[in-house]
Chains A and B, each alone.
Chain A
Amino acid sequence: MPLVVVDVMLKPEISDPQGQAVLGALSRLGHQGVRAVRQGKRFELEVSGPVDESAIHEIADTLLANPVIEDFIVHIHER
């Protein structure tokens, strides 16, 4: 059964205060080598039968991501 992974990230121009908070925590933990953190969402969709890429794109574009503020990337894993 194919697994479709959709990664959703805030667009680069939208500030990400959650990522900044993670970066602040890393700094307090002594990890000085990390320069920036962006936080996103990962969706895993189990698909029955062959993957309809245009349908997956529509799912991501209409529901999983808000294209006003977010970008998404689709990864298809045949298993």
Chain B
Amino acid sequence: MTAPNPRPTGDDLANVRVGVVTFPGSLDDADAARAVRLAGGSPVMLWHGTHDLGGVDAVILPGGFSYGDYLRAGAIASFSPIMSEVIDAAKRGVPVLGICNGFQVLCESGLLPGALTRNAHLHFRNRDQRLRIEARTAWTNDFAEGAEIVVPVKNGEGRYVAAAADLDAVEAEGRVLARYVGGNPNGSSRDIAGVTDPTGRIVGLMPHPEHAVEELTGPSTDGLRFFTSILASLVGAGAGAAT
């Protein structure tokens, strides 16, 4: 969990390279890259079938239906060539954000606790969703404490579950990234919409901040702060310095 940084310059931000992985069946890779760009950073597209992370400063695993959600959502993707590199990088401290299917991949990889299962009501749920941001992480530093935001949620297997002891630990350690407010769209345990690892660098979120970055297309621009947060965190940590 990073300290606030002095306001970085546009050049600093543009030098931060954020990788976005495309799996077969990814849907939101282009929107995630666009969100990085709108926040001032430089997106780098990464391909599931390679071992090449391209020296990026952070990685986003986007939403979609990687490998058709076969076996379990995110299960096959978690064993793809690029994921062995992402897992190694994450363990070295490279920040990783998994959104929706990307969150499922992070749980299947064992980088985050718990799992995402079939929605309790069995329906695919697609709506604008209010969330409360509860953890300060590399991806949420730009939010005020306890900020409530509105971003789209869209999933069929978004119900967060974990053993009761794991849920207790996640809550006690302040690792609930965000909770659903004003209605739980999928039956997630304890209204949990996202979780973070203990370092605040590996983060998973079921709703979609990358779809709430422009007034023309989103219910708000609240989602942009995930992307400005990570750029500021990385500039503060020395990434993006002119080379």
A66 and B161 in contact (CB under 8 A), knowing A17-B118, A17-B120, A17-B122?
Answer: no
Provide the bound-state CA to CA distance between A69 and B108, in Å: 11
| Chain B residues within 8 Å of A66, by CB | 72, 75, 108, 115
| Chain A residues within 8 Å of B51, by CB | none
| Chain B residues within 8 Å of A69, by CB | 115, 117, 161
Q: How far is the CB of B159 from chain A (nearest CB, A)?
A: 8
The answer to whether B122 and A21 touch across the interface, beta carbons within 8 angstroms, is yes
The residues in A between 1 and 29 inclusive whose CB is less than 8 angstroms from any CB of B are: 10, 13-15, 17-18, 21
A68 and B120 in contact (CB under 8 A), knowing A63-B71, A63-B79?
Answer: no
* B 134-178 binary contact with A (CB < 8 Å = 1; else 0): 000000000000000000000000000111100000000000000
Provide the bound-state CA to CA distance between A32 and B107, in Å: 39
- How many A-B residue pairs have C-beta atoms within 8 angstroms? Tell me: 33
B121 at the interface (CB under 8 A from A): yes
Provide the bound-state CA to CA distance between A17 and B186, in Å: 11
| Chain A residues within 8 Å of B162, by CB | 68
- B74: nearest chain-A partner, CB-CB: A66
The residues in B between 101 and 143 inclusive whose CB is less than 8 angstroms from any CB of A are: 107-108, 113-115, 117-122
| Chain A residues within 8 Å of B163, by CB | 13, 68
- The residue that A18 contacts in the complex, of B72, B75, B122, with Cβ under 8 A, is B122
Provide the bound-state CA to CA distance between A15 and B162, in Å: 11
Provide the bound-state CA to CA distance between A68 and B122, in Å: 21
The answer to whether B79 and A68 touch across the interface, beta carbons within 8 angstroms, is no
A17 and B107 in contact (CB under 8 A), knowing A63-B79, A66-B72, A66-B75?
Answer: no
The answer to whether A14 and B120 touch across the interface, beta carbons within 8 angstroms, is no
- A11: nearest chain-B partner, CB-CB: B163
The answer to whether A17 and B75 touch across the interface, beta carbons within 8 angstroms, is no
The answer to whether B75 and A68 touch across the interface, beta carbons within 8 angstroms, is no
Provide the bound-state CA to CA distance between A11 and B8, in Å: 48
Q: Give B residues with C-beta under 8 Å from A.
A: 71-72, 75, 79, 107-108, 113-115, 117-122, 161-164, 187
29 A–B pairs (Cβ distance < 8 Å), ordered by A: A13-B163, A13-B164, A14-B117, A15-B120, A15-B187, A17-B118, A17-B119, A17-B120, A17-B121, A17-B122, A17-B187, A18-B118, A18-B122, A21-B122, A63-B71, A63-B75, A63-B79, A64-B71, A66-B72, A66-B75, A66-B115, A68-B107, A68-B113, A68-B114, A68-B115, A68-B162, A68-B163, A69-B115, A69-B161
Known interface pairs A13-B163, A68-B163; 5 further A-B residue pairs with C-beta atoms within 8 A, sorted by A's residue number: A17-B119, A18-B118, A64-B71, A66-B108, A68-B115
